[in-house]
Amino acid sequence: MPAAFTKIDNQPLSGKVKNVLLKMMKDGAFGRSGRLPSEDKLAENLGVSRTVIRDVLASFEQKGFILRRRGIGTIINYHVLNLRTRFDLEPEFLDLITEGGYTPRTAFVHLHHRKADKEISDKLRLKVGEDIYAVERLILADEIPAIYCIDYFSKDIILEKEFDEEELKAPIFEFFSQRCYRLIVHDITTIDPISADKKLAGIMEIKPGDPVLHLDKVGYDIEQKPVLCSHDYRRPGILNYTLLRSTL
């Protein structure tokens, strides 16, 4: 039975195409062959240009969702596509919890006014003592504390100075796009296990000394300027992480 395609409208086009095709692939819309139709056929069925399809497929190939081979076609990489959580393709926190099979909820978001210490100033290329914001949030998975994160950024980076703190409940990348007019294109993350101190243990509802996964991140804009740094703590036993490494 031929796949049932949904026509795509013209608002954030590539993102909509990605979402539709990903859902179709995960739902088995392309049958047992595991092969996608040609770029021309996909473009025709989705009502978009071949250029959009080519860009989307290039993104899928980079992420390991598909394999493309001359003479064979485009093959869906199901064992990669169906992985729940990947360190190399980590989505926003709430989506990450959902993909892990849990119901997510933001327990709290707190905004703090601070002065940059040496660690933050070195990471963000600021002067020690410059005004910064610290956004603290706790994400629950089925009401269990799963991710505790503190994001730091300069006050001067915000171009739209008047904002509601409720906006910070959205992903921090959305806030940067809407209030700072900055797109964070990538981050560099250092990962290490640590022992929870008394404060962290209280927040994560674990015992002091219990292991916690610590992610130390610095996010960069399109000009390769560091604009965001974060301390991200993950409670063990909630999410299992995988990492795709290509040998090609």
Residue 193 pLDDT grade (very low, low, confident, very high; cuts 50, 70, 90): very high
Residue with tokens 């640590």: 194
Whether residue 209 is predicted with pLDDT greater than 90 in this model: the reply is: yes
The per-residue pLDDT for 229 is: 97
Lowest mean pLDDT among 109-118, 127-136, 183-192: 183-192
Whole-prediction pTM value? 0.74
Whether residue 10 is predicted with pLDDT greater than 50 in this model: the reply is: no
Q: What is the pLDDT of residues 211-228, one digit of tens each?
A: 999 999 999 998 999 999
Residue 117: alpha-carbon gap to chain centroid: 27
Whether residue 7 is predicted with pLDDT greater than 70 in this model: the reply is: no
Q: For the chain, which residues make up each domain, given as ranges?
A: 13-81, 87-234
CATH number listed for the domain at residues 13-81: 1.10.10.10
Whether residue 35 is predicted with pLDDT greater than 50 in this model: the reply is: yes
The per-residue pLDDT for 4 is: 64
Most confident option among 28-32, 53-57, 96-100, 140-144: 140-144
The DSSP-derived string for 60-129 is HHHHTSEEEETTTEEEE-HHHHT-S-BGGG---HHHHHHHTTS-EEEEEEEEEEEE--HHHHHHHT--TT
Residue 164: alpha-carbon gap to chain centroid: 23
β-partners of residue 138 are 108, 148
Residue 163 pLDDT grade (very low, low, confident, very high; cuts 50, 70, 90): confident
Distance CA 83, CA 118 (A): 39
Per CATH, is 87-234 categorized as 3.40.50.300?
no
What does pLDDT average to over the chain? 87
Distance CA 41, CA 73 (A): 13
